[in-house]
Every structure is written in C-alpha cells, then in structure tokens.
Structure 1
Amino acid sequence: MPAPRIPRIKSPELLIAESGTDLEGHGLKRTMGLFQLVCFGVGAIVGTGIFVGLSDSVAQAGPAVVVSFILAAITCVFTAFAFAELGGAIPVSGSSYSFAYAGLGESTAFLVGWCLLLEYGVSVSAVAVGWSQYVNELLDSLTGRQLPAALSSGPTDGGVINVPAVIVIALASVLLMRGVRESARATAAMAVLKLAILVLFCAIGFSAFKDGNLTPFSPAGLGGIGAGTTAAFFSYIGFDAITTAGEEAKNPRRNIPIAIMICIGLVTLLYCAVALAAIGAIGGDKVGGQPAALSYVVNEVTGSTVGGGVIAFGAVVAIASVVLAVMYGQTRILMSMSRDGLIPRVFEKISPKTSTPVAGTLIVAVVFAVPAAFASLDAAVNLCTIGTLATMAAVNVAVIALRRREPGLARTFRVPLYPVVPLLGVGFCLYLMYETGWTTWVQFALFLVAGFLVYVLYGRRHSRLAARAEATAAVAERESQAV
C-alpha cells in the first residue's frame, strides 16, 4: 500500500513557534518600535522610484501621472490590507513567503520566495544603479565634474562597470552586519532627511507652478495612464518589507499593521505632491526622460545648480536607505526559507555577536552587486515589478485561504469588506502584470521555471516540514503495529 501523501502546509502556530518569537530560538532581538517600523517602511519605499523613475512615469502618462500614482497606490492599499492582516496574525520574518506557506502550501511558498528575489534582490541592483546617477549629479554640483562613464555605468549604458552601485551595496551590507539597532537608527535618520528634502522640493516646485503646464492632462489617453501606473508602481515597492521585521519588532501584532497603513498613506500624498510640483513648474515634456529629474527641475526653477545639488544630496541619502532596507528584507526571507530546509542552511546562521545573519548578508551583497555593476536600471525595473505583483497577488489569495482554513486565528487587523477587497487586490495585480508587456512575461516565465526546478531538485528533498511529518507518520505506524 503506497504511503499517503503528506500535505505540505505549515500552520501559523508552527511558523510562530519556529521563528524564535520567545527571543531565544534564532537569536533575533526585538528592538524596533512603531516609529522605527514606519521609518523602515519609508526607507524601503521612497528612493529610486520617485527620484529617478518619476521621469519614466511622466514620459508615459504626462501630467496624468498623478492618476497613475493614485491607481498604483490603490493596488498597494488593497494588498496592504492583506499584509496588515497576515503580518499581525503571523509575525515572522518570512513575509509573503511565510504567509504563502501557511495559506497555499510549500511549493507555492517556494515560488513566492523565488519571486521575492526579484522584488528584493533585483530591486537592490536597480536602486543601486539609480544611486550612481545621483552621485554623479551631486559631484557635478559640487565640483563641476562627474565620474567617468566607464566607472559609473554598466556596458548596457555605454560604460564598463558601475563602481558607485557596488559601493552602496557594500556599505549597506557592512551596516546590516553590525546589528539591527544600528541599521534601524540609520534608516530612521535617512528617512527623516529624505522626507525633508522632498518637502523642500515641493516648496520650490510649487513656487513656479503654472496651470498651463498641466495641459494636455493626458496626452496618451487611458493607455498612457495604464503604462504610467505600471511604471509608478515601482515607486511603491518595498512597503511589504515592514513584515520582514516581524521577529525584531516590538509588539508586532499591533505595530506592523499600523506601520503599513501609515507608510502607504504618507508616501501616496508625497508622490502626488512631488509629481504635481515637478510638472507644474516646468511641464511634463521636460520632466520626462530626465535621468535625475528632481535636481533638473530645481536647477531650472532657481537658475542655479545649488538647489539641484541639495536635492541630489537628498537623493543619495534616500536611495542608500532603500538599499539598506531592501537588503535587510531579502536576508530575513532567505533566513526563513533556510530554516525550512528549502535552501542551504548557511542563510539561517545568526552571528552570536551581532544577532544578524552575517553569512547570508555577505552572499546577498556579492550576488546582487554583480548585476548592479554591469546592468542598466531599465533592464531590471519591469522584471522586478512583475515579480512583486505576483507575490502580492499570492498574499491576497493566502488571506482568503487562511480565513477558510484558520477561522480562529488571532487577527489584530482584518481586511475590510472581505472577500471583495482581496479579490480586487488580485485583479489589480494581474492588470498591472499584463501592462508590463510580453517580453517581461517571457522573462518571468523562464524565471519561474528555473525556480520550480530548484524546488524539485533541492527544496522538496530537503524540506524539514516533510521530514518531520514523515517521521511522525513512521512513529504512529510503528505504534499501531505494536498494538
């Protein structure tokens, strides 16, 4: 008689028990309060998307980019509700991966974790490339010179190697290995600074605001707004990183849902204000296609490079904080996958001295410094976007699955208007995935196939959940035979 198939779904209780939430298990320390979580979320979100990517969104949608930002925010809000519910109910480091494990099973969870390599890992590379652009802008405003193209861009952008992109990843990895408390303090300081810089930009931009610059409002029609929404969505990537702090946050069941909602609301208002200020000041045709758009706008308005230099300095700090926050999230997700045996154990090792996954951080830094050094920003954005949207859709489905399977699960926050909101979240995610284009879909499909092969050849065979279940079944069988 063949052995019964063992379901590979991990209960929320088991996820929490294995996470070390009693402050013992894996050595993580709870040091992040609500303010630190909000700053961490802002640090993960506000960066390349608005400082560099704004020009791409404006090029697609024109002044209607404000609508694109709002539509992208709506997509995030629907999914933010799902993250808030699951982040409060299952406060562990695995984020979407752990939520999928509890709601959808091991194979889906592995593919979600695989897609998170795009959201966190590839976005680190993309963000680092954007950081390099503003480093050059800052050097130009201070010295009148820039780094040679050969050393500040990859081969796809006409250079040889992007040295600044590698440097920012190296600096972030060093800070992360020093400890979570130090990283949280640095992220909070950089988040406050970048918000101040963007408020300053809005003040300068609105001082030169002209109504005529907003017409025609939607030069490319609904198609342009849709394409602009997909481009604008990249500006919101990272809010879910808050849930990766589930094991290092104080009172995570309360603070994680609140932090997520505050971040989405704050960032949406900020993005719409920045877009209106930029376009209203000089017109959408001039904003579109500018590599360092915000500095360019300030230079045009003030007639001097000083203001642009200040904005460039803010961008350098802002984008560096994104690298720091996103690398933090990536290492914690890999740590959770490693605990489950789905990837090598090196990623779950915690340094007793710093209480951080030092080896995993080093590996992540080295692996993603390579595309940052040699690839372009555009090459990574769409692939990162579609991977993020896929994981967000999975989290919405996981909410529905867990509501049915675990109705008694302690939930400090519940998705409103269930099941309409999570279903709308899935729908918006699928629409934006469609808007990325068929080339991105082909690349994404190949990426998923590669991930499935890794799971079949390694993850499934080394799964600790399956090994535990098989051992339990074997014991039960022996006891029944003895009786």
Structure 2
Amino acid sequence: MFERLLKKKDINAILREAEGKNDGLRRNLSAANLVTLGIGAIVGTGIFVITGTAAANYAGPALTISFLISALCCVLAGLCYAEFAAMIPVAGSVYSYSYSTMGEFLAWFIGWILILEYLFACSSVAVGWSGYMMSLCEGWGIHVPWHLAYATFDHTSEGWIMTGSLFNFPAVFIVAIITSLLLGGIKQSALINNVIVVIKVGVILLFIGFGLSHIDLGNWSPYIPENTGEFGSFGWSGILRGAGVVFYAYLGFDALSTAAQEAKNPQKDMPKGILISLLVCAVLYIGVTAVLTGIVNYKELDVAAPIALAIDRTGESLAWLSPFVKLGAIAGLSSVILVMMLGQSRIYYAISKDGLLPKFFSKVNLKHGTPQNATIFASIVTGLFAGLFPLNVLSELVSIGTLMAFMVVCISIVVLRKTQPDLKRPFRTPFVPFVPLLGAAICLMQMVALPFSTWVRLIIWTLVGFVIYFGYGIKHSKLNKK
C-alpha cells in the first residue's frame, strides 16, 4: 500500500505521451496569447474586488505593502513554475509536477487543493462581477430584485446565517456565458481574452492617471493603522494577513501553466508568459491600491465594487469615467473567470487521464479540442458556490489553496534538482535552493496568518478529498495498474 501511494510517473514517459496525439488538445497558443492569458487571469480579482475588503479589514492604506509581499512571493514561485512548465509542458500544472517528483498520493492531494483553488477563484470573481454589474444597472435605472442578487448564506461573527436572498443570479449568469465560450475552443477563448485585456488595462491606466489628482493625503494617515489588539487586524500583522488574503489576486500565472499542453512552443513561451504577466500585474496592483486608498478612506472600502465607489466619490470631475471603469471591471472580471474556468477544467482532465477521477472528465470534443465534460461540470459547481456564498468566505479559501500549491512547487524544484539533476531544463530557476526555499517560507508565513476558520474549511475539504482518493482513485489509478 505504502509503495503505491509513493509511486511516481516517469517524466520522459509524460513527455512522450504529450508529444503524441495530444489526446485531442490542440497547440494553438502563442507567446503573446500566454502573456495576455496571464494578465487576463491576474488583473481583475485583486484590483476590482478584493482590494477594498482587504484594506478595510486588515491593512488600511498599507495594503500596498501587502501587495509587495505577495508580489515577492509570486516572483519566487513564478521562477519555479517557469522551470516546471518548460520542463513538463502538459496539462495539470502542479498536480502533474508533483506526480513526477513526490508520488501519486501527494499529487492527488495537491490536485484536490488545485480544484479548491480554481473553483473558489471562479466563484469569488463571479460574485465580484455581480457587484459591478449591479452598480452599472443601478446607474442605468435598472433595478435587480434583492432576492436575486445576493448570496443565500453569509458568515458573520455569530456563525452562518441565511440572508433571505434566493441566490446571486448575476454571478450564475456570467458563469454560464463563460462556459459557452470555453466550449468553442481554446483559440476562440484566447482571442476574446486578448480583446478584453486591452480594454481593462486601458481602463485601469485611466483610473490611475486621472485619479492621482483626487488623492487626499489625509486618507493615507496613518499609513499603517494601529493594531486593534487582535492578530491580523491592522498593524504589521494586518499587513501580513492582507498579503495572505490578496495573494490569490496573483493566481493567473498558476492557471496559465495548466494550458502548457496547448502552447505552440511551451519550452520557450511558458516562462515568458508566466514572468511577464506577473510583473505587469504587480505594478498595476500597487498603483491602483495607492490611488484607491488615497481617494476613499480605507474604513469605507468594504464593498464589492471599491473602484466604482472611488469614482463616485470624486463627484462631477470624473463622472465621465464611471461607466468606463464599471464596464472595464465587468470585462476584466469576465476574463479572470474565463482563465480560471479553463484551468479548473484542465485539472479535472489531467487527473481523470491518470484514472484518479472517472474517465468521464477526460472526454475531449474532437471538433473544438476542449475537455467538454470537465468544462460543463466545472461550470455547474462554480455556479452553485457563486450563487450561494459571499465574497469573503470564497476569497479566503482561494488564498490558502494558492499558497499551498505554490509552496509545493517551490519544494518540488529542490527535490527534483537532487533526485534527477540531469533532466533537460529549458529554463532554470536561479539560485537554487535559496530562491525556492525562500518562496516556500514566505508562502507558509502567509498561510499561518490566515484566519483559523479558513484552516478549518481547508481541513474539511482535504478530508473529503481523502475519501474520494481511497474510495475511488487508488483502485482505478492507471499507474498502479501498470
């Protein structure tokens, strides 16, 4: 039994399999497509949704420092991702990397965590999309009934409560629209994403440029609000907790690695896509956070659409920008959902190909070259969570899943350098083991800073994953059958 849990896939066999028929997945993504997919996934969640919540509850104006900490961790992890993505250019991301370095059981564990990561990323961004769409509709005089626009459940200091709303209809609606686009094929999805990225980056630059003249320096004082006496509630512990919460805003380059099997030249282009998109987005995040907390006092930013609030606070001078920002946010969040849904479906596909999930999930539509069943299933579960739960609960689960995945990648680089030093590495992480170990340490530090309730939910999710693996996966594993 123990040997079966630790059995590893041979990297050379993985590469030979990927170079064959490719199981219906098509290599249509260029380096430019990969960069825009990365930006499409990253820019949106952090800027348009979670920035306000994290500033109001954890770090105040010092959220810029939180983003810097997270950016440093992401660069370190991104270098490790780049080495793996170039060396093992297949669908599956960290799951596939772990299978070849740490064995089947740990691969399943991290694959299950990746499902958590992408599922709740899609759901939380869909909730944010709903907030901006509601704001835009109100501006146009369109009223959406309350019982069809908010989550069914909420989590307060007193525990779980029923809100009285039926479900968040706009959040479910956008998930359905994105699913229909993804089913049309990766080439079509990438083209739509390119257009959306140009629009949303343009809108963000307009907000930064015109918002600078409306900054009230008094809103930055104190820059680091005094700690309330509770860990994670402002002060430096709040900055650290804020870094852990906003960390999932950098999730895009992680999702990018799930599309490696659909890249034209993954050995060269995957590292470019990961690192360039990450650096561009880090600069945009810090700029928007500084302007946002300068225009609106951080105490008032605990809303689903913080940038829309900031625009409204400037009065008539930037009123013309409000519809553009809201439309840019809606478009931007749509591209985030698109890439996260793409990543989620590819994780189901990769795990199913190894037999750890039913083969239903690895069926590919031969006309469009997409994992059809995995995409439809991902849309159903994403829509359920987006319709039923609030933003704060979903975003914290994404953060802890992302941090754990990044930590595993960093450790795996060190393990593989020791166990298989002669493998061909088109891209090499610099300063090993210093860079990966530092990246793993920062990830662990941010995980520890997250609320205890988030850890409880992670443990419950993990236990469910263990039941599925020992009840189904280990019996149907193709590697163990061999």
- The TM-score with structure 1 as length reference comes to 0.93
Decide which of 92, 95, 116 is 2:93's aligned counterpart. Answer: 95
In structure 2, the partner of 1:174 is 180
Residue 392 of structure 2 is aligned to residue 378 of structure 1 = yes
Deviations 1:387-434 (A, max 9, x none): 111111111111111111211111121111110111111111111111
- Give the alignment of 1:428-467 within 5 angstroms: 428-467=442-481
Amino acid at match of 1:357: P
Please say if residues 296 and 308 of structure 1, whose CA atoms lie closer than 8 Å, have aligned partners that are also in contact. no
Decide which of 233, 237, 243 is 1:229's aligned counterpart. Answer: 243
Please say if residues 137 and 146 of structure 1, whose CA atoms lie closer than 8 Å, have aligned partners that are also in contact. no
In structure 2, the partner of 1:406 is 420
Residue 205 of structure 2 is aligned to residue 199 of structure 1 = yes
In structure 2, the partner of 1:73 is 71
Distance in 2 between the 1:336 and 1:11 partners?
Answer: 15
Please say if residues 133 and 326 of structure 2, whose CA atoms lie closer than 8 Å, have aligned partners that are also in contact. yes
Distance in 2 between the 1:444 and 1:451 partners?
Answer: 10
Distance in 2 between the 1:215 and 1:433 partners?
Answer: 28
Residue 342 of structure 2 is aligned to residue 333 of structure 1 = no
1:35 Cα deviation (Å)?
0.8
In structure 1, the partner of 2:230 is none
Deviations 1:162-191 (A, max 9, x none): 111111111111111111110000111111
Structure 1 stretch 48-57 or stretch 266-275: which is displaced more? 48-57
Distance in 1 between the 2:360 and 2:150 partners?
Answer: 32
Residue 310 of structure 2 is aligned to residue 300 of structure 1 = no
Decide which of 273, 293, 304 is 1:279's aligned counterpart. Answer: 293
Please say if residues 15 and 98 of structure 1, whose CA atoms lie closer than 8 Å, have aligned partners that are also in contact. no
* Gapped regions of structure 1 (runs ≥ 5): 469-483
Q: Secondary structure at the match of 1:32?
A: coil
Change (3 A) 1:4 1:199: closer
* Gapped regions of structure 2 (runs ≥ 5): 155-162, 226-233
Amino acid at match of 1:105: G
Change (3 A) 1:282 1:127: closer
In structure 2, the partner of 1:155 is 152
1:4 Cα deviation (Å)?
7.8
In structure 1, the partner of 2:405 is 391
Distance in 1 between the 2:416 and 2:130 partners?
Answer: 43
The structure having more radius of gyration, on CA atoms, is 1
- Note the aligned Cα RMSD (angstroms): 1.7
Distance in 2 between the 1:217 and 1:302 partners?
Answer: 25
Change (3 A) 1:435 1:6: closer
In structure 1, the partner of 2:47 is 50
Change (3 A) 1:389 1:126: same
Distance in 1 between the 2:469 and 2:5 partners?
Answer: 17
1:363 Cα deviation (Å)?
1.1
Structure 1 stretch 440-449 or stretch 32-41: which is displaced more? 440-449
- Give the alignment of 1:31-42 within 5 angstroms: 31-42=28-39
In structure 2, the partner of 1:119 is 117
Amino acid at match of 1:177: L
- Give the alignment of 1:180-195 within 5 angstroms: 180-195=186-201
The alignment-based identity, stated in percent, is: 35
Q: Secondary structure at the match of 2:314?
A: helix
- The TM-score with structure 2 as length reference comes to 0.93
In structure 2, the partner of 1:479 is none
Distance in 2 between the 1:72 and 1:202 partners?
Answer: 21
Distance in 2 between the 1:103 and 1:386 partners?
Answer: 22
Decide which of 114, 127, 130 is 1:129's aligned counterpart. Answer: 127
1:323 Cα deviation (Å)?
0.8
Distance in 1 between the 2:400 and 2:22 partners?
Answer: 35
Change (3 A) 1:146 1:6: closer
Amino acid at match of 1:292: A
Please say if residues 115 and 347 of structure 2, whose CA atoms lie closer than 8 Å, have aligned partners that are also in contact. no
Please say if residues 204 and 301 of structure 1, whose CA atoms lie closer than 8 Å, have aligned partners that are also in contact. no
Distance in 2 between the 1:5 and 1:62 partners?
Answer: 49
Decide which of 194, 204, 210 is 2:216's aligned counterpart. Answer: 210
Change (3 A) 1:49 1:3: closer
Change (3 A) 1:93 1:314: same
Distance in 2 between the 1:98 and 1:43 partners?
Answer: 23
1:48 Cα deviation (Å)?
2.5
Distance in 2 between the 1:7 and 1:223 partners?
Answer: 38
In structure 2, the partner of 1:14 is 13
Distance in 2 between the 1:94 and 1:148 partners?
Answer: 40
In structure 1, the partner of 2:231 is none
Distance in 1 between the 2:206 and 2:319 partners?
Answer: 15
In structure 1, the partner of 2:304 is 291
Please say if residues 48 and 131 of structure 1, whose CA atoms lie closer than 8 Å, have aligned partners that are also in contact. no
